[in-house]
Amino acid sequence: MAENEIKKGLAGVVVDYTAVSKVNPDTNSLLYRGYPVQELAARCSFEEVAYLLWNGELPTKEQLAEFTARERAGRALDPVVKQVIDALPVTSHPMDVCRTAASVMGARHPLAEDSSREANMAKAVDLFAAMPAVVAYDQRRRHGQELVEPREDLGYSANFLWMAFGEEQVPEVVDAFNVSMILYAEHSFNASTFTARVITSTLSDLHSAVTGAIGALKGPLHGGANEAVMHTFDEIGIRQEESLEEAAARAKAWMEDALAKKKKVMGFGHRVYKHGDSRVPTMKAALDKMIAHYGRPELLGLYNGLETAMDEAKAIKPNLDYPAGPTYHLMGFDTPTFTPLFVASRITGWTAHIMEQLDANSLIRPLSEYNGHEERHLP
Ligand X SMILES: O=C([O-])CC(=O)C(=O)O
Q: Using CB under 6 A, list all residues that contact ligand X.
A: 187, 190, 271-272, 319-320
Give the residue at shortest CB distance from ligand ACO: 269
> Among candidates 14, 67, 24, 77, which has minimal Cα distance to 45?
67
Q: Are 128 and 71 in contact (CB under 8 A)?
A: yes
185 counts as binding ligand ACO under rule CB under 6 A: no
What part of residues 6-45 is at the interface with ligand ACO (CB under 6 A)?
Answer: 9
Question: Exposed/middle/buried for 166, CB within 10 Å: 0-12, 13-18, 19+?
Answer: middle
Catalytic status, residue 222: yes
Partner whose footprint covers residue 264, from ligand ACO, ligand X, none (CB < 5 to 8 Å by kind): ligand ACO
Secondary element (H or E) of residue 379: none
223 counts as binding ligand ACO under rule CB under 6 A: yes
User: Shortest approach of ligand X to residue 78 CB, angstroms?
Assistant: 28
268 counts as binding ligand ACO under rule CB under 6 A: yes
What letter represents residue 334's amino acid?
Answer: D
Which listed residue (109, 187, 207, 270) is catalytic? 270
**Ordered strands of the 29-32 beta sheet:** 21-24, 29-32, 35-36
141 counts as binding ligand ACO under rule CB under 6 A: no
Q: What are phi and psi of 39, to 5 degrees?
A: -65, -40
Distance of alpha carbon 138 from alpha carbon 154, whole angstroms: 21
What letter represents residue 187's amino acid?
Answer: H
Instruction: Give the list of residues 6+ apart from residue 322 with CB closer than 8 angstroms, or none.
Output: 225, 229, 267, 268, 280, 303, 307
264 counts as binding ligand ACO under rule CB under 6 A: yes
* Of residues 40 and 81, the one with the C-beta less far from ligand ACO: 40
Partner whose footprint covers residue 109, from ligand ACO, ligand X, none (CB < 5 to 8 Å by kind): none
DSSP line for 82-141: HHHHHHS-TTS-HHHHHHHHHHHHHHH-TTTT--SHHHHHHHHHHHHHHHHHHHHHHHHH
* Of residues 157 and 319, the one with the C-beta less far from ligand X: 319
Distance of alpha carbon 207 from alpha carbon 348, whole angstroms: 13
Q: Which of 136, 161, 265, 347 binds ligand ACO (CB under 6 A)?
A: 265
Distance of alpha carbon 158 from alpha carbon 132, whole angstroms: 11
User: Shortest approach of ligand ACO to residue 191 CB, angstroms?
Assistant: 7
Q: Are 161 and 46 in contact (CB under 8 A)?
A: no
* Of residues 231 and 239, the one with the C-beta less far from ligand ACO: 231
Partner whose footprint covers residue 266, from ligand X, ligand ACO, none (CB < 5 to 8 Å by kind): ligand ACO
Q: Are 63 and 51 in contact (CB under 8 A)?
A: yes
* Of residues 266 and 309, the one with the C-beta less far from ligand ACO: 266
User: Shortest approach of ligand X to residue 245 CB, angstroms?
Assistant: 31
Catalytic status, residue 377: no
287 counts as binding ligand ACO under rule CB under 6 A: no
User: Shortest approach of ligand X to residue 222 CB, angstroms?
Assistant: 6
267 counts as binding ligand ACO under rule CB under 6 A: yes
Q: Are 244 and 301 in contact (CB under 8 A)?
A: yes
Which listed residue (109, 222, 329, 353) is catalytic? 222
Partner whose footprint covers residue 225, from ligand X, ligand ACO, none (CB < 5 to 8 Å by kind): ligand ACO
Compute how many other C-beta atoms are within 10 angstroms of the C-beta atom of residue 147: 17
Compute how many other C-beta atoms are within 10 angstroms of the C-beta atom of residue 258: 19
247 counts as binding ligand ACO under rule CB under 6 A: no
227 counts as binding ligand ACO under rule CB under 6 A: no
Q: Which of 31, 76, 88, 221 binds ligand ACO (CB under 6 A)?
A: 221
* Of residues 58 and 221, the one with the C-beta less far from ligand X: 221
Give the residue at shortest CB distance from ligand X: 190
What part of residues 315-344 is at the interface with ligand ACO (CB under 6 A)?
Answer: 316, 319-321
Cite the active site residues.
222, 270, 321
Binding residues for ligand ACO (CB under 6 A): 9, 220-223, 225, 264-271, 316, 319-321
